A and B are shown apart, each in its own frame.
Chain A
Amino acid sequence: MSQNLFIKCKACGGIIERKKFIENYYVCKLCGNYEALDYKKRLAMIIDPNTFGETNVYTEFCDPIKFPGYREKHESIVSKIDLNEAIVTGSGCISGQKVMVGVMDIRYMMGSMGVIVGEKVTRMFEDAEKEKLSVVMFVASGGARMQEGIFSLMQMAKTAAAVSNFSEAGGLFISVLTNPTTGGVSASFAFLGDIIIAEPRALIGFAGKRVIEQTINEKLPDYFQTSEFLFKHGYIDLIVERKRLKEVIGNILKIHSKENNKKFRQKSAAEHVSMRSDE
């Protein structure tokens, strides 16, 4: 019984009351650690109850370069968890405003991007453009999935192009970076949001810390590649505590809503206007 009432923080090892931990959005009161959220917890925190509908469900396994051990690893993971890829996409409402939402889940191969993740992200932007919805993406990924070789690298180009098309058509993309956002995912769609939000103290960056340490031969400072580090250098718009995320995203959506953009919307979408008076 006591096991159910209390849990041990994965970061500091402190004993915390489970109920309070959950009420505090899975953030440890003792050390402030943000526990990784599975997609269901994330959706429950952000999306209005009973409004989520999953899109582009795919159940097959994809092994484009027949990488040794990949299928076995996949099967071992899916036997333990309730999802078969590193992302879930769908539509739902945030404070009454309908959006396309993507949630990455690090329980599946560290949230890495292979063909299926790339395809689902791409379709999400295409669907959003068709339905004239904004996109909110919760990123959590170690990067490209090396077991899919060059195919995973190409997903970077594919998803960036998808954001590009969506964005050129006037769509709003809010990218929420959570722990971790690194490698090929940070270097593609994750950093292409119109507005980039990060959860506090998330690991965010391109190169792995070990690789950098080997290259420069010195130990890296603790704050290196954190949300706060990226914020300081101007690569993140906002660092938002988990408990305020829904409210902040809701407000951003509201400012972008049709109702609040009536007067100038059509004019700004018009073609290039010549400044010459004789034309």
Chain B
Amino acid sequence: MKNSNAWNKVLLARKISRFRSLDIINYIFDSFIELHGDRGIGDDKSIVGGIGLLNHQAVTIIGQQKGNTLSEMEYRRYGMTKPEGYRKSLRLMRQADKFRRPIICFIETPGAFPGVSAEENGQAEAIARNLYEMANYKVPVISVIVGEGGSGGALALGVANRVIMLENAIYSVVSPEGCASILLKDSKKAPEVAVNLKLTAGDMKNYGIIEEIISEEGEEKELFCRIKQSIERELLRCSQLDGNELKKERVKKYRDIGSDIIFSKI
């Protein structure tokens, strides 16, 4: 049987040879300085964060990093972020807000890391805190979904004024395997569940969850240029708004998802 479009996207988004957040970061930013640690527990390697320049504009850059080789993937924990990773990103985002520089996030994770230490260190609280604070920042927040956008672990870097998705990226509340195993008691039915979950970039655009899809046609470098141009355009647009307007725009976007439901008071 021919793979559905949705399942094809899942496979493409997860392809081991796919370019990674760091490839994009190194290509489009000047003088990127990586900064480390959450000032509490450690330095989570599944998240790369730091400061840099985009055409003489200072920015804070945060990216989840999966890796391409087995050893790098192990080192990066396949992009599955621990609480200390989210808290590192939070620390860097707070600084961005303090110094009034835009925040650019690159999302690529199968999901937040499921493990004993992650639970001990408050994975739920760490993700919740990111969502809470990202709603408040008075600087532009731009998120780019690079590959797999897995659930709360992805959303924790995704509360943004503009969310950009690459053509073959996916964004979902649950992995197709997880959903198939819970609802159908058979994780092998993931390909059919992938269709039902509506997780492609096209679906996200139709639903108004994201603002832009970037085509992956042609060479990698061309794609990276398109990502750079898209971020530049958005920063230019955001430069017309003051801090309160940026915050309001971001909050309103999420506030409106589902608010078309009309309540009838008793």
Interface 9-residue window, one of A155-163, A251-259, A261-269: A155-163
- Least Cβ distance of B10 to chain A in Å? 14
In the complex, per-residue mask of A200-239: 1 if CB is within 8 Å of any chain B CB, else 0: 0000111110011001100010001100011001110000
* Cα–Cα distance between A118 and B197 once the two chains are bound (Å): 19
Contact A184 B136, beta carbon cutoff 8 Å:
no
Cβ < 8 Å to A, chain B residues 123-153: 123-125, 127-129, 131-136, 151-152
* Cα–Cα distance between A115 and B182 once the two chains are bound (Å): 20
B7 CB–A CB distance under 8 Å: no
Interface 9-residue window, one of B54-62, B65-73, B225-233, B253-261: B253-261
In the complex, per-residue mask of A152-177: 1 if CB is within 8 Å of any chain B CB, else 0: 11111110111111011000000000
Contact A115 B258, beta carbon cutoff 8 Å:
yes
Given A146-B183, A156-B131, A225-B119, do A206 and B173 touch, yes or no (CB 8 Å)? no
Cβ < 8 Å to A, chain B residues 162-196: 171-174, 178-179, 182-183, 196
Given A62-B261, A163-B132, A184-B152, do A54 and B197 touch, yes or no (CB 8 Å)? no
* Cα–Cα distance between A188 and B265 once the two chains are bound (Å): 27
Contact A149 B254, beta carbon cutoff 8 Å:
no
Cβ < 8 Å to A, chain B residues 59-92: none
Interface 9-residue window, one of A9-17, A20-28, A189-197: A189-197
Contact B136 A205, beta carbon cutoff 8 Å:
no
Contact B121 A233, beta carbon cutoff 8 Å:
yes
The contact size tier of chain A is 35 or more
Chain B residues within 8 Å of A191, by CB: 122, 124-125, 128-129
Please, which residue of chain B has its CB at the minimum distance from the CB of A62?
A: B261
The contact size tier of chain B is 35 or more
In the complex, per-residue mask of B235-257: 1 if CB is within 8 Å of any chain A CB, else 0: 00000000000000001001101
Please, which residue of chain A has its CB at the minimum distance from the CB of B204?
A: A150
Chain A residues within 8 Å of B135, by CB: 157, 160-161, 164-165
A30 CB–B CB distance under 8 Å: no
A60 CB–B CB distance under 8 Å: yes
Contact A156 B263, beta carbon cutoff 8 Å:
no
B30 CB–A CB distance under 8 Å: no
B residues with CB within 8 A of A? 112-116, 118-125, 127-129, 131-136, 151-152, 155-156, 158-159, 171-174, 178-179, 182-183, 196-199, 203-204, 207, 209, 251, 254-255, 257-259, 261, 263-266
27 contacts between A and B (CB under 8 A): A59-B264, A62-B258, A67-B197, A119-B261, A119-B263, A122-B259, A123-B263, A144-B152, A148-B173, A149-B198, A152-B173, A155-B258, A157-B135, A160-B132, A184-B152, A187-B112, A187-B124, A187-B127, A188-B127, A205-B123, A207-B113, A212-B115, A215-B113, A215-B114, A225-B119, A230-B122, A233-B122
A residues with CB within 8 A of B? 54-60, 62, 64-65, 67-69, 115-116, 118-119, 122-123, 144, 146-158, 160-165, 167-168, 182-184, 186-192, 204-208, 211-212, 215-216, 220, 224-225, 229-230, 233-235
